[in-house]
Amino acid sequence: MPSTNSSSTRAQNAAREEVLSQLKEDHKKVKKAYKQFEKLDVNEDPQECEALVQQVLDDLTLHAALEEEFLYPAVKDLIAEPDLIEEAEIEHESMHTAIDQLRGMSAGDEKYAARFTVLCEYVLHHVKEEEGEMFPQLARVKLDWEAISQEMAQRRSEARGEGPGAQMQGAETDEAAMGSDDAEPSRGKGSRAGR
Ligand SMILES: [Fe+2]
Ligand SMILES: [Fe+2]
């Protein structure tokens, strides 16, 4: 259901809270993964380290895209301190550079753990500014939060392979499986059909 100008203030407030609380959840997830990483030894558990790092890099990439594409541009001209958005955008640039460097590395590489540690510390500093300064100011920003919330939700589900396209492909595969394989039609119901 597309949102309209007649959407109630309450609905917009709820949508804004939803947007911000999901972003905060992402922040928490990174913090948690970083703590977990600190308990690991990159020489003893290289695979576990790499899996953890990979997950964080993927999560950060999606999170950054959501903020860069939907949040920052929408609030930039409306927030009390637009500098906060500009600074955040520049911090994201540095973060992307660090992410790209780590993507080309493996646990055996020199300074792998150090690079990941520096990235996490950097992100946590950025997160502190978002949650401490930027997000509170957004409480007073009036815009179509419902639309932003919907766009972000759609992007998140696409990233998880649950977009409308993936669902349709899944449905087609189900039909094909039902039609061509009468032995065990239920086995065609793979959620990975879109891959
Ligand atoms: Fe950010
Ligand atoms: Fe963030």
Q: Given a cut of 50, is residue 170 above it in pLDDT?
A: no
**3-class state of residue 161 by DSSP:** coil
How far is ligand 2, taken at its centre, from the CA of residue 25, in Å? 9
Give the pLDDT confidence of 26-64 residue by residue, as tens digits.
999 999 999 999 999 999 999 999 999 999 999 999 999
Output the pTM of the full model.
Answer: 0.81
The Å distance, Cα 125 to ligand 2 centre, comes to 10
Can you tell me the mean pLDDT for 158-177?
Answer: 58
Q: Is residue 166 scored above 80 in pLDDT?
A: no
- Separation of CA 16 from chain center: 16
**Protein residues placing their CB within 5 Å of the ion ligand 2:** 130
What's the pLDDT score for residue 162? 86
Structure tokens at 170: 């899944």
Mean pLDDT within 148-162? 95
* Res. 177 pLDDT band, cuts 50 70 90: very low
pLDDT on residue 138: 97
Contacts 24+ apart (CB under 8 A), 136-141: 137/79, 137/80, 137/81, 137/84, 138/16, 138/20, 138/75, 138/79, 139/16, 140/80, 141/16, 141/75, 141/78, 141/79
Residue 24: predicted pLDDT: 98
> Residue 156 pLDDT > 60, yes or no?
yes
pLDDT at residue 176 is higher than 60: no
Task: Output the average pLDDT for the chain.
Answer: 86
Q: Does position 6 have pLDDT exceeding 60, yes or no?
A: no
Rounded distance from Cα 3 to ligand 1 centre (Å): 26
User: From CA 170, how far away is CA 190, in angstroms rounded?
Assistant: 7
